[in-house]
Amino acid sequence: MKKVLVVLLAVLGLAGLALAQTTVRVGVLLPISTVAGKAALNGVQLGVDQVNAGGKVKIELVVVDDGNAPAAAVPALTKLMTVDRVDIVIGGLASGVTFALSGPVKQYNPLFLCIGAASSVVEQAFSDYGRFFHYHPWDYHNVAAALSFFKSLYDGGARRVAILYEDGPFGSAGIQTYRQQLQNQGYTVQAEPFKSGSGSFTAILTRLKSFRPDILYWIGYDVDALPIAAQTRQVGLEPKLIYGAPPAWPLGFEKNNLSNDVAGMTAWLPSVANNESRRFVTLYRRKYNEITDEYMAPMGYVIALSLGKAVEAANSADKDRIAAELAKVQMDTPFGPLSFKPSDTGKTRFQGFNQSIWLQFQYLEGSRRPVFPANRAARPLRYPGNY
Amino acid sequence: MDLLLQTLINGILAAGIYALVASGLALAVGVVGIVNFAHGEFSMIGAFVSYLLFVGAGIDPLISLGLAALVLFVVGAITYYGLIRPVLAAPELNQMLLTFGISVALQNIALLLFGADTRVVSTSYQGATITLGGISFGAPPFAAFVLSVGLLGALYWFLGKTRLGFAVRAVAQNRLAPGLLGIETQQIYLLAFGLSAALAGIAGVMLSVMLYASPTVGFAYTLKAFAIIVMAGLGNLRGVVPAAITLALAEAFVSTYVPGGGGWVEAVFFLVIFVALTWRSWRLS
């Protein structure tokens, strides 16, 4: 009899626990064949592990590959919504893909937690959608952060900037405004378009020799990083700083001597010294036996943790109640504090991070080191660099 | 004057890698009679062979050149024997669709195996510079140019001075008659297609040094190779180097002297194809 009572109590206890636990199914729509997409997924899974370990919320992930292309992403989202029947989607890494998803998202109405997609075009596309939470800074935040760095370089004596920009939407959007803003800081600017992936920069760089730029600033993709670094030396351009702004850097670039002294911008590096960052690094290393430089990993982690907090506060799997709680979330993250406010343009209602998360780094002796702003720098910027 | 000289050098050196890719394509078109849209993907395989040997065994890409050529020769021979040979008698459209399919398949296999990311090798000579007076240029493009000229010279010698080369040229000129003389046409096709792929593989290794390895690295060069073989005349191997130099110089001059010309570079080869085809049609009419 005693045994029966013990078993009964145990069963009731477990049932009670189950009743107290809120379970939500979440679709994850990422380009998992890319380094950034894989890192983002790892971060999301790490965050979900932490949320689930708390016991009050259980997040079940349904992961699909967006193929880094609209043609693959739209059917993948449709499957998440109609077959897997999720109410919450984490995704939207690339701007072009996310822009293409704006129509289907509005059709199916999920709570959409956007991990990347910095383009203002995406901000415009989701301006009338109330369940859109954008964690990543917008492109104007990126520009503001870069301009702050360029201001410090101007104060350090830099006067001429040569901008190489790829002639697609990524590189050429807002280039005139950017040019104007640099000129407003006092710089003389020469801007030249190029075809990303062509590998042919010698002609443009040769022409820039007469301009004698202090800073060679290129806006393109990972495929352009090595050719620009190599051909800058080969034509004898000798800028004092090569500053790149690709969405991702090539694998193995840090081990290449040509990367030395090349600078760029990122939102996070493992060496960032705050408690949440250190905690993230420890957990990530424990789960994956490695650490990543990709800031999309902590971004995914932050999204999962914030979602867990919101579900717990909502005590419900209803997407609108979760959204209402998510809007109130305030938490420390590896990037710094997170809370949601309307975007600077007022187009979207829930914007997470802004320009304050960006830091400038420089490739030095085989790794990326934060060099700006001063309060987050691990070491001083090497200027002029040796190219 | 320095700018003009520098532009000329930039163009001529760029022609080396163009000629290397295009000569393989010209061989496939001229001898086997097939327009191989997967030629760039053979270069991509060469780039990955170089990258994997570098990362896995620390082998310098220059040492990988021979191995990559061998691997690609085998890949080309298998592709010919398994896929190309059955459609040789089929209409040209079918052949083109097949090679286009091979191209898509190879790209997607690479995507599955390696992902979409760009990978770079790291050697001490990638940024090496040669300076002559006021002119400076990169050692890798110069090496690629010398290698290209050397390989094409060897290819011309092979085709013009050896019995096997004569057989290849005979098959290129007439598909039936050499068979009557005891030349194994299928073996010649296999050899030519394998050599074509090997040349693409060597170009791929150079691309891994000068640019990167990724599933799409060969695509842009395939387009340029098509422009070159169109300009040279389909299958005309001797016209490949002059056509490659013409295309590369046109790109260099547009980039250097046309304001915003860097964005127009890719349009140059379309213009070249357009002008070459129009001029040839006009001359024949």
Q: How far apart are CA A355 and CA A267, in angstroms?
A: 9
User: What is the count of residue pairs from A and B with beta carbons less than 8 Å apart?
Assistant: 140
CB-nearest to B265 from A34, A200, A256 is: A200
Looking at the complex, report in whole angstroms how far the Cα of residue B199 sits from the nearest Cα belonging to chain A: 20
DSSP class of residue A84 equals S
Q: How far apart are CA B208 and CA B52, in angstroms?
A: 11
Residue B2 has pLDDT above 70, yes or no: yes
Looking at the complex, report in whole angstroms how far the Cα of residue B248 sits from the nearest Cα belonging to chain A: 10
Q: How far apart are CA B263 and CA B216, in angstroms?
A: 20
The confidence score (pLDDT) of residue B128 equals 87
Is residue A136 classed as helix, strand or coil in its secondary structure? coil
Contact by Cβ (8 Å): A266, A242:
no
All domains in chain B, ordered by first residue = 2-284 (1.10.3470)
Q: CB–CB of A250 and B260 under 8 A?
A: no
Lowest mean pLDDT, pick from A248-257, B168-177, B251-260: B168-177
From the list A155, A174, A153, the residue with the least C-alpha distance to A165 is: A174
CA A114 from centre of chain = 10
Q: CB–CB of B255 and A203 under 8 A?
A: yes
Q: CB–CB of B262 and A194 under 8 A?
A: yes
Handedness of CA A33, A36, A40, A42 (dihedral sign): positive
CB-nearest to B111 from A33, A202, A256 is: A33
Neighbouring C-alpha atoms within 13 Å toward the C-beta of B166:
6
Strand partners for A330: A339
Q: How far apart are CA A70 and CA A231, in angstroms?
A: 33
- CATH class, range A21-137+272-353: alpha beta
The confidence score (pLDDT) of residue B74 equals 97
DSSP class of residue B126 equals T
For residue B140, list chain A residues with Cβ-Cβ distance below 8 A.
230
Within 10 A of B143 (CB to CB), how many other CB atoms are there?
Answer: 19
Q: CB–CB of A251 and B119 under 8 A?
A: yes
State which amino acid sits at residue A231.
Answer: Q
Looking at the complex, report in whole angstroms how far the Cα of residue B283 sits from the nearest Cα belonging to chain A: 33
The confidence score (pLDDT) of residue A19 equals 52
Kindly state the tokens that stand for B282: 């006009």
Q: How far apart are CA B267 and CA B261, in angstroms?
A: 10
Measure Cα distances from B32 to B88, B174, B215 in Å: 8, 11, 26
Contact by Cβ (8 Å): A231, B138:
yes
Q: What is the average pLDDT across B122-148? A: 87
The confidence score (pLDDT) of residue B234 equals 78
Q: How far apart are CA A264 and CA B120, in angstroms?
A: 18
Q: How far apart are CA B28 and CA B36, in angstroms?
A: 7
- CATH class, range A140-266+359-376: alpha beta
Looking at the complex, report in whole angstroms how far the Cα of residue A201 sits from the nearest Cα belonging to chain B: 8
CB-count burial class (<10 Å; 0-12, 13-18, 19+) for B80: buried
Q: Which stretches of B162-239 are DSSP H helices?
A: 163-173, 177-180, 185-210, 219-232
- Phi and psi torsions of A331, nearest 5°: -155, 155
The confidence score (pLDDT) of residue B207 equals 92
User: Could you tell me which residues come within 8 angstroms of residue B234 by beta carbon, excluding any fewer than 6 positions away?
Assistant: B26, B29, B30
Q: What angle do CA A27, A29, A30 make, to 5 degrees?
A: 145
Cβ–Cβ contact A71 with B under 8 A: no
Measure Cα distances from A324 to A133, A170, A243, A328 in Å: 11, 33, 41, 7
pLDDT higher for B173 or A163?
Answer: A163
Q: CB–CB of A234 and B138 under 8 A?
A: yes
- Domain boundaries of chain A, sorted by first residue: 21-137+272-353, 140-266+359-376
DSSP class of residue A138 equals P
Q: CB–CB of A258 and B126 under 8 A?
A: yes
The residue behind tokens 């202090």 is: A214
Kindly state the tokens that stand for A262: 């090349």
Cβ–Cβ contact B166 with A under 8 A: no
Q: What is the pLDDT along chain A (387 residues), one digit of tens a residue?
A: 555 555 555 554 545 545 568 999 999 999 998 888 999 999 999 999 999 999 999 999 999 999 888 999 999 999 999 999 999 999 999 888 999 999 999 999 999 999 999 888 899 999 989 999 999 999 889 889 999 999 999 999 999 999 999 887 778 777 888 899 999 999 999 999 988 888 888 888 988 888 999 999 999 888 999 999 999 998 889 999 999 988 889 988 998 999 999 999 999 999 888 899 999 999 999 999 999 989 999 999 999 999 999 999 999 999 999 999 999 999 999 999 999 999 999 999 999 999 999 999 999 988 999 999 988 888 899 999 988
Q: CB–CB of B3 and A206 under 8 A?
A: yes
Contact by Cβ (8 Å): B72, B200:
yes
Q: How far apart are CA A145 and CA B255, in angstroms?
A: 31
Q: How far apart are CA B38 and CA B68, in angstroms?
A: 17
Q: CB–CB of B131 and A236 under 8 A?
A: yes
Q: How far apart are CA B87 and CA B70, in angstroms?
A: 25
Measure Cα distances from A252 to A76, A246, B112, B122, B155 in Å: 31, 15, 19, 8, 35
Q: How far apart are CA A158 and CA A145, in angstroms?
A: 17
Question: Peptide bond preceding A239: is omega within 30 degrees of 0, i.e. cis?
Answer: no
Mean pLDDT in chain B? 88
From the list A36, A91, A18, the residue with the least C-alpha distance to A267 is: A36
Q: Which of A42, A249, A251 to mutate to test the interface with B (most CBs of B within 10 A)?
A: A251
Q: CB–CB of A203 and B256 under 8 A?
A: yes
